[in-house]
Structure 1
């Protein structure tokens, strides 16, 4: 029996005593105010449930969303939620003049019946983050390769049995990214991507972290031959850090960015050529680098990078 039921049954005993010996007697006997006894007697219908404590929640609030704000949320939800989720809805609402917090918008939307049922919350972390956040752009850049899902291919690409691959580099400090597509999964393309990366990122790269794929290293396939990517990094004076085998979570930021690419890009797009793929990939890159992120305090990677470069 919970505390609400216990309190209601105590009130029921007070009411029964009041009906037998009077309200004043019951008030003195149980040590409750006479006004409370009178109020309980009026509410009592023969069951203890009628005496249960009711909600004290107010029917309205001076800071509640206005009708125009709710209409704005609804419109942005209809435009952006299916593809971009709550973050996309909030970014669109901000562009249209919304001034409240992200959590306030989500709370109002849920009250309006938008977004479906709430999902179960993740359990809290049992330990602190293994790696501290880096504070200097370029201190460490994670690089990985994602194969383009087969269902995205159309036309000659699908007919000829070709594949497309996305190279991704993400700066651990600012989360700024650079992505580009190739048809072949080779070390030579990794070197091409690295040279493009050096021109794009406006800061000096100190360390590059990758997995142990042959497009990045020959560590596990040859003791004598050196990977072209390792040679390029040595010439540039950049450290190459390899994560332990079969531990993709060590490259967690680039892996997470690939999951976001799948959700926001590959689940919606199709490609008939490498040129079309890179054109759409460039537009997606511009969007993702300007997308506000909760982990960055609702700032976008571009905004944080500007702040870091000014400091």
Structure 2
């Protein structure tokens, strides 16, 4: 028997005694106030459940969300949650002048019945934490993502072509640059590198990649140097290779690819690499302007501006 049930049954004994001997006698015998005995008698319906302790939570609070704020949350949830999640809802609210905290927004949304669908739990790898870099360009992660086949339409689908997205992300500011090519080759890695240097407004000191042949010939030749390595040597940029079969060492660019899948590829289709790059340009602008929880609700552009002005 739990404490709530015990207390309710004690009150039941007091009430039943009060019915036999009177409320004052019950108050005197059991050492409880007369007002409590009267209140319990009024609530009693013949069962001890009617005497269980009720919630003391107030029905209203001076800091509760206003009806206007609740409407804003509902509208933003309807527009943004399915594609962009809670972060997208909160970012949309901030744009509208919302002043509450992120946790307050989520609590209010759930109170209003706005819930996310529960996903099955996955066994996660033990978390590995690396020190955050403080200088833009100190290390940039680069990786290649194959464009999902179900996004292809028209000529590229008929010709059975594959499209590939090159992605670079600065570890310090999370600033990204992306571009797509039709072939998965070292020569396209070199082209992407030249575009990246023009796109990023800071000097790149180190580039970190996996061991794919688009980046290095380390595991296929001892004599031939990969064109990408040659370009980095010419530009005096250090090339850091992660250990084989350890994609979590390139975790930031891998995570950005998962976000691209969720926010972009699950919603778009392409008939050519030119159309893909046009749409990627808009998506890149959005992702670099997106407020991130990990950056204390700043965007990559905002953090970069702060770093460059410091």
TM-score, normalising length: structure 1: 0.92
Residue matched to 2:285: 286
- Aligned runs of 1:246-257 on 2, under 5 Å? 246-257=245-256
Residue matched to 2:34: 34
Q: Secondary structure at the match of 2:167?
A: strand
Q: Secondary structure at the match of 2:261?
A: helix
Residue matched to 1:271: 270
1:26 to 1:121, Cα distance in 2 relative to 1, 3 A:
farther
Residue matched to 1:183: 182
Please give the alpha-carbon distance, in whole angstroms, between the structure 2 residues aligned to 1:263 and 1:198.
27
Residue matched to 1:155: 154
Residue matched to 1:58: 58
Question: Which ranges in structure 1 are unaligned for 5 or more consecutive residues?
Answer: none
CA distances 1:249-303 after superposition (whole Å, capped 9, x unpaired): 1111111110110011101111111111111101100000000001111100000
CA distances 1:154-213 after superposition (whole Å, capped 9, x unpaired): 111011111100000011111110000000001111111111111111112122111111
1:298 to 1:207, Cα distance in 2 relative to 1, 3 A:
same
Task: Give the RMSD, CA atoms, in angstroms.
Answer: 2.3
TM-score, normalising length: structure 2: 0.92
Question: Which ranges in structure 2 are unaligned for 5 or more consecutive residues?
Answer: none
Q: After TM superposition, give the deviation of residue 235 of structure 1 in Å.
A: 1.9
Residue matched to 1:95: 95
Please give the alpha-carbon distance, in whole angstroms, between the structure 1 residues aligned to 2:123 and 2:155.
47
Q: After TM superposition, give the deviation of residue 79 of structure 1 in Å.
A: 2.3
1:104 to 1:122, Cα distance in 2 relative to 1, 3 A:
farther
1:123 to 1:58, Cα distance in 2 relative to 1, 3 A:
farther
Structure 2 residue 260 is the aligned partner of structure 1 residue 258: no
More displaced 10-residue stretch of structure 1: 264-273 or 104-113: 104-113
Please give the alpha-carbon distance, in whole angstroms, between the structure 1 residues aligned to 2:119 and 2:221.
48
- Aligned runs of 1:191-210 on 2, under 5 Å? 191-210=190-209
- Aligned runs of 1:72-151 on 2, under 5 Å? 72-116=72-116, 129-151=128-150
Please give the alpha-carbon distance, in whole angstroms, between the structure 2 residues aligned to 1:58 and 1:124.
40
Residue matched to 2:46: 46
1:130 to 1:67, Cα distance in 2 relative to 1, 3 A:
closer
Residue matched to 2:233: 234
Residue matched to 1:6: 6
Q: Secondary structure at the match of 2:230?
A: helix
Q: After TM superposition, give the deviation of residue 122 of structure 1 in Å.
A: 9.1
Q: Secondary structure at the match of 1:163?
A: coil
Please give the alpha-carbon distance, in whole angstroms, between the structure 2 residues aligned to 1:125 and 1:224.
37
Q: Secondary structure at the match of 2:57?
A: coil
Aligned length in residues: 310
More displaced 10-residue stretch of structure 1: 258-267 or 94-103: 94-103
1:119 to 1:111, Cα distance in 2 relative to 1, 3 A:
farther
CA distances 1:31-79 after superposition (whole Å, capped 9, x unpaired): 4333222222221222221111111111112222222222222222232
Please give the alpha-carbon distance, in whole angstroms, between the structure 2 residues aligned to 1:162 and 1:120.
34
